[in-house]
Structure 1
């Protein structure tokens, strides 16, 4: 679908993904309007770019003439704008449907996997931006001017989300498959269903397309065996096409030699903590090579890579303790995060402030969360961010998590609200600590409050 000269209305225009789509629609020549529940720097930036943004959601926000409406996954029947659009017989698309239509005809590099999508997509966007590639990232990259850009070249880099089988609306030329683990079981049922979902996505590649897959992940390998297109592997496994040689993250920052089919491509040096980012970078390098980017230039771009907001983001220091914010919400990602924090802050007491994202995920991966969080010296467990859930009893799973951590010798405490957490951290934090705020919800608000009020924070739990 051609977006030039179209009029598009976005419900939830301030969201991470939808705001990026609105931006590229504007750059593609569309007239854009939209609404969100509250103003933000994102909505302000879209207004400055030419979008008409309404704060609050009302039926009258829809323009008299609109070609179609895009709604976030969070928008449900009963939303006045969605109901108005349907009453008027307008075409309503979910975010992924609209992204697929917008990028139909581009050379699409789709980054997929249970973990690492945002970081890998932003790495690849940074590498290819010099060639005029477009991109859309489900986060706020610290190096790029925006989370999305239409670009002037054929290549378009996109984060490809598996939730709700959204990625099946995309039209990939290359799929970069990082990993496959159990998640979104409300959609897929079990891990076998998750694997089939990724296989269905890979099957959307044309025969002349390319699958770039993690050779260290058995499920990725199985999916690759089913692919009817060119296959290129990356990882540590013997026989992988792209490999890291002599990987060393002992300083907290990964470095390694990169080889492709036995040929030395250059030295990888990252300036963000965590060994896992080296493997994200390896996939990005391989995809950039496929897109025609010189490896030396790609490696230099990765040396300058600064990460994404809420991915091991250093927010500041509280009473001398580094304060880290991270979006991790799957136990594997939590484990990788805390291991990276251990490497980066080896001499400090590691204090994790954890907020689970959905009770279904917390209960479904309970033991995995226990063992991941046990990497910390102290854990404050906040009430779960119950997105897309109703009818749950808060407090009981969090207390159970604390008991299991305490049985492993971890100092763990469950807290009912952010005020109590702020007061506890104000009373107990010292300059030899490191604070890591973990979760895809709003747990980072505690960190922001601590940093904003640090000269005058009282120990009140109000």
Structure 2
């Protein structure tokens, strides 16, 4: 289904979500309920967000059964739902329309001014920054993000203004289902090759993404990233929309530079300069902030107000998130699952640790990604003083012969190695001393290790 014939919200009728407890699915359901759509949903487990949705007016079931569909007229199925799911099978048999989450979200956006954030890395953080900034500036956008925003307490909400800010996921091509007027592209690198097959196919998909922009639209792209810059140049060459660059290079329209100790600043083309007070560390987050600043200006926010608004952003869930401090050791968790993201997370950890040590526990995500980037992962992990690697988190993939975490461990230096679960927690708790930073990294269940390391440090 192309974005130009995506369904209208009013045409959906009663909507049933299969897998409603997922972070992306619950986001769409939450906004639909707020916009007056009759919503029902189910999930295999009784997740906390389901109680919130029930309190908002959704009909919720735990466990999958055909009877849960009741009188639903449109079905939204999560990406993890298998074809033999009893609810999906019943919906297909009944001839009900089955939408991808992104199609349902596109319908929810209606005629709002849509801001979509895409890129291989930084989508959730940048989308969250834009949302927090706009709210601080007195605008009240609707938003849907792939991670909880601690400063707001949710990952999605229906706003009172006609602005909709959404994370746009390129992993399965679903970012092509939206009708954006403003697009942010943080970076473009080969990833999700299990879906795309080749790097060239990734680049072509981003070209199709920018082609969605209308004549009065705007592409906001990072000049510091070769892939995003090349995309911007190709978009300019087509001549059908405006392009604005942000970054540290001379080519940037919104230029990021040093604002003094612990601060960064942005300069505009007219020479005006604004300091940004950021609560989140790392150059990558400063770049994300510059992108958010650019979007705010496009939406009519006063530059000084926009700069001040960024101070309200305290991070996104699982994006360099502090899990605890014990005996002077700070334990953070990060969702990084691509070598560039791992490098950015460890660079941020190094800036926080100062002269002290950084210890990382990394869990590779997907066999295919590990096969493609084993050496690059190791190169990034070698920035740490201690680098421990868990077995691969398979997610949606079956094992690939010969592909294990040992492919990464073989390239680690300084005693970096493959570890089991208990050994990982004990080793990190023993290695870390006052002032050190411990970082758990990956898109799988490695996030559960942070609290365990905190407890082990207390022992």
Unaligned ranges ≥5, structure 1: 457-462
Per-residue deviation at 1:83? 0.8
For residues 122 and 66 of structure 1, the distance between their equivalents in structure 2, rounded to whole angstroms, comes to: 32
* Cα contact 1:265–1:295 (8 A) shared by 2: no
Alignment correspondent of 1:460: none
* Cα contact 1:349–1:377 (8 A) shared by 2: yes
Alignment map for 1:243-262 (pairs within 5 Å):
243-246=255-258, 253=262, 255-262=263-270
For residues 245 and 180 of structure 2, the distance between their equivalents in structure 1, rounded to whole angstroms, comes to: 17
Alignment correspondent of 1:355: 363
Alignment correspondent of 1:421: 424
Per-residue deviation at 1:135? 0.8
Alignment map for 1:292-303 (pairs within 5 Å):
292-303=300-311
For residues 195 and 173 of structure 1, the distance between their equivalents in structure 2, rounded to whole angstroms, comes to: 20
Per-residue deviation at 1:430? 3.4
For residues 101 and 110 of structure 1, the distance between their equivalents in structure 2, rounded to whole angstroms, comes to: 14
Distance 1:48 1:41, change over 3 A: same
Alignment correspondent of 1:332: 340
Q: Deviations over 1:79-120 (max 9, x none)?
A: 111111111111110101111122132110111111111000
The TM-score with structure 1 as length reference comes to 0.92
Per-residue deviation at 1:357? 0.8
Does the alignment pair 1:291 with 2:291?
no
The TM-score with structure 2 as length reference comes to 0.93
Alignment map for 1:294-333 (pairs within 5 Å):
294-333=302-341
* Cα contact 1:318–1:450 (8 A) shared by 2: no
Instruction: State the Cα RMSD in Å.
Output: 1.9
Alignment correspondent of 1:411: 415
Unaligned ranges ≥5, structure 2: 1-7
Alignment map for 1:51-450 (pairs within 5 Å):
51-63=58-70, 65-129=71-135, 130-227=138-235, 228-246=240-258, 253=262, 255-392=263-400, 397-405=404-412, 408=413, 410-416=414-420, 418-450=421-453
For residues 444 and 331 of structure 1, the distance between their equivalents in structure 2, rounded to whole angstroms, comes to: 18
For residues 184 and 19 of structure 1, the distance between their equivalents in structure 2, rounded to whole angstroms, comes to: 24
* Cα contact 2:359–2:428 (8 A) shared by 1: no
For residues 103 and 362 of structure 2, the distance between their equivalents in structure 1, rounded to whole angstroms, comes to: 33
For residues 182 and 209 of structure 2, the distance between their equivalents in structure 1, rounded to whole angstroms, comes to: 11
* Cα contact 1:176–1:213 (8 A) shared by 2: yes
Between 211-220 and 336-345, report the one with greater CA deviation: 211-220
For residues 310 and 34 of structure 2, the distance between their equivalents in structure 1, rounded to whole angstroms, comes to: 26
Alignment correspondent of 2:3: none
Q: Deviations over 1:246-288 (max 9, x none)?
A: 256xx6x5x2221111331421111111121110000100001
Per-residue deviation at 1:319? 4.7
